[in-house]
Structures are given as C-alpha cells and as structure tokens.
Amino acid sequence: MLLKKSSAKQWAAISGLVILINGCSAPSGRYSIDSDIAPDAPISVEHLEDAHPKYEPYSLGGNTNYTLRGSDYTIVKDTKGFTEEGRASWYGEKFHGHLTSNGEIYDMYSMSAAHKTLPIPSYVKVTNTDNGKTTIVRVNDRGPFHEGRIIDLSYAAAYKLDVLKTGTANVKIEVITVEMPTDAKKKAALPQYIIQIATSPHKERTERLAIDMSEKLSVGSFVQSENGKHRLMLGPFHDYALTQETLEQVKVAGYPSAFIKKQTMARQ
C-alpha cells in the first residue's frame, strides 16, 4: 500500500530535526550559496493566490521558546488581535528547498513567511504601508534576525507586495485566527499532507489532469472548487517523507510551483 503511516521512529527523527531553529537563522554552511538572491529565471507567480486561512494545530517542531545570538524569544500564546508594525524583508534562492523551523520544505514560490515568535503555523495579513498592497501568508519558519525587521516574506509574497526591488518595506501585520471546529475538539487529530499542483478556472481540464497525475504517480487525487477556481490536489498522505518524494516527481513532471500543505483529519 503506497499511502502508509510513518513509524514511531520516523516521527521521532522528524521531531528531533524540526525542534532546531533553522530556516532564516541557520549558518550559511548548510546552503549552496552564501548570500541570498532572487532566482535567475523566476517562475511566474502572478497566478498564485493568497494563503487561505484555516484551522491547523500548531506544529510539534518550532514552537518552543528559544535563545539565539544571546537573545531570548518567547512564543506568543494568544494571537487573537495580534498586530505589529515594522520592516519586512524577504528570502529566496539561498533557503529554497531547505527545512523550515517546523520541518516543512521552504518553497520561495509559496505564500509563506517567517516570524520570530508567532506560533507555527499562523496566518497573517501583511500590508505594505508604503504602497497599500496587502496579501495573506502562512508563517512556517523563524526569522528574520535583523534589528528592526519583523517578518521575512517568501519570494512570491514579496512579489505580491512589491518588495523585491526595494529589499525591505514598512509593513503592518495582523494575525488571522481560525477557531477549532466544535466537533474537532471532541476528537483526536491525525496529521495528513496534500500536494497542491495547480489552480485553474477550467474545471474539466483540471479534472482530466487530476486523473492523469493520479495514474502516473499511483496516488489519490482530487479537485477543490471554490469561487470559480479549481485546485488540483494529490493525497492525502500520512507519511511526510513520501509526500516529499511525490512532490519532487510532480515538479519533474512540469509543475515546479507545486507545494505541500498540511491538514488534519479527525480520527473516526
């Protein structure tokens, strides 16, 4: 059976890795380049939608208080009404494909961001107060660790806010809280992962592609339709390593902007 649950040892190994504060703060020796840069031939991100806020349990990794470079950081316990103003920066090619603080893979073409103390994951509305542009991102990493900067945007999010040319911008961030569904409070949550391949206004084409990808990769597929947009998904997967392997196959098949999303499903 292709979709298999991770063993206890696998999850223990993953948990041990993701407790580390990596992402934006890790030493440059881990990366193929020393200084962060934009991609040489960037993929178009015009089609990318804002992150869609939903209830997600906080990650096992990346959510403990920590000390870095002599400074102590305390994770925010209650995010309701949380706002903050300061400077935003962005990170791209140097960190692309490496682990974020909660063990996901950083994809500079996803609508994500890093914050020093917000719980992971969190959904944040970011407003560029220099030009009035806004977007919604999903925080899944730690950083930026530079004085005066409050959030590190992915390449895609920085593009949406017109921050790429200036490098930094004045922003206001507002946390979007999504309450746990009432029925979910009574049931145990089982982590699952899905791969979002593409979004299209053409339902029939998306459904045909879903069938084709499912047959080629021997995994389940489905289409999420909302407001005239149809998202092609693969999964769900219980094994994160298998999800990553499938994601690489999807990218080789011609969908380099595909990315992994974590969801929860109540145990029946």
Residue 262's CATH number? 3.30.70.1070
Whether the pLDDT of residue 264 is over 80: the answer is: no
pLDDT beyond 50 at 133: yes
Task: Clarify whether residues 64 and 120 are in a common domain.
Answer: yes
The answer to the question of residue 32 being in a domain is: no
The CA distance from 41 to 226, in Å, is 31
69 in a structural domain: yes
From 110, 145, 176, the end of a domain falls on 176
Looking at per-residue pLDDT, the higher value among 102 and 198 belongs to 198
Does 31 reside within a domain? no
pLDDT tops 70 at residue 160: yes
H/E stretch holding 243 reads helix 240-252
Q: Determine, yes or no, domain membership for 78.
A: yes
- The structural domain count of the chain equals 2
Tell me what pLDDT residue 140 has.
Answer: 93
Q: Is the confidence at residue 144, as pLDDT, over 50?
A: yes
Quick one: pLDDT at residue 153?
96
Assign residue 141 the CATH number of its domain.
Answer: 2.40.40.10
Could you tell me which of 77, 79, 94, 82 has the C-alpha nearest to residue 144? 94
Question: Residue 218: which residues within 8 A CB-CB, separation 6 or more?
Answer: 2
Regarding whether 191 and 157 lie in a shared domain, the answer is no
Which residue(s) pair with 194 in the sheet? 261
Per-residue DSSP letter, 38: -
**Together in a domain, 128 and 246:** no
Q: Which two tokens stand for residue 43?
A: 């993929």
Q: Per-residue pLDDT averaged across 31-35, rounded?
A: 53
Question: Does 52 share its domain with 107?
Answer: yes
Residue-wise pLDDT tens digits, 80-125: 999 999 999 999 766 777 678 877 888 889 999 999 999 999 999 9
Residues 160 and 62 in one domain: yes
Domain assignment present for 9: no
Which pLDDT does position 3 carry in this prediction? 35
- Structure confidence at residue 82 (pLDDT): 98
17, pLDDT greater than 90: no
Pick from 145, 176, 207: which residue ends a domain? 176
Same domain, 154 and 199: no
Range of 227's domain?
183-266
Query: Average pLDDT, stretch 38-59?
Result: 81
User: Which residue, of 125, 154, 176, is where some domain finishes?
Assistant: 176
